Amino acid sequence: MPLRWQEVAVPLFVIIALLVLKHVPWTESLPLARAAGVVAFGYAAFLALRLIQGEEAVQIDGWSELRPSMVEYFACYGAAALSVVLMSAVIFIGGTKHVEPTQMIATFTASLLLGAGAFGIGLCGLFTKVRWNNTILEHRTAFGRETRLAWSDVRSVRPNWRGITIATQGAEKVTFSQFHSGAAQLAIHATNRARRNAETSTKAFATL
């Protein structure tokens, strides 16, 4: 699946913001240049893993199934590990050495944000299950909630900040990550189904 503009704009915005904040008096003492380097390294790794993301879904007993990709594993466990490192620095280094309050607050905040990001990626990416056959699409969340959409009811396929959303005329919807292996195949299949359903509805309306 091609890169979306958000995947390019967000890391560039973060890097530029960190470099600008480096010249702001209140934050100039923070290691923001080093943080920008970490973001740049992480983005380079993301692009490398994105290139090897699988385009085809896994076939199991007549079902096509999405699987988490290396991009999602890297983002989830990498963010979790970095969050633990930063929190450890706050606990241990902050208790033994004098550290500026600004640095302590920034490190603590970054740790919480990374931890929340890892938790969100895990819930929305690693621990969800999406599969489909010729008649239905099934989506199961990390909490066990299951949604089933009949392909004959699908009306739209739209990208959003969470991934790709497949919706029916009855307002039922399923959202899956564009970083899943096989996401491109599912998006193409859903788009074709939505277009076919729209054409069928148009022909049926014309014959009335």
Q: What is the pLDDT of residues 4-26, one digit of tens each?
A: 777 888 889 999 998 888 888 87
Q: What is the pLDDT of residues 191-206, one digit of tens each?
A: 999 999 988 877 665 5
| Mean pLDDT for the stretch of residues 175-193 | 92
Locate the DSSP E strands across the chain: 58-60, 63-65, 129-132, 136-140, 146-150, 154-160, 163-168, 173-176
Q: What is the pLDDT of residues 29-55, one digit of tens each?
A: 788 888 888 889 989 998 888 888 888
Q: What's residue 205's pLDDT?
A: 58
Give me 65's structure tokens. Answer: 């199934």
Give me 181's structure tokens. Answer: 């292996």
CA dihedral 32, 33, 39, 41 (to 10 degrees): -150
DSSP string, 65-115: E-B--HHHHHHHHHHHHHHHHHHHIIIIIHHHS---HHHHHHHHHHHHHHH
Q: Whole-model pTM?
A: 0.79
Q: What is the pLDDT of residues 25-34, one digit of tens each?
A: 877 778 888 8
Q: What's residue 169's pLDDT?
A: 82
List the one residue out of 111, 137, 140 whose CA is nearest residue 126.
140
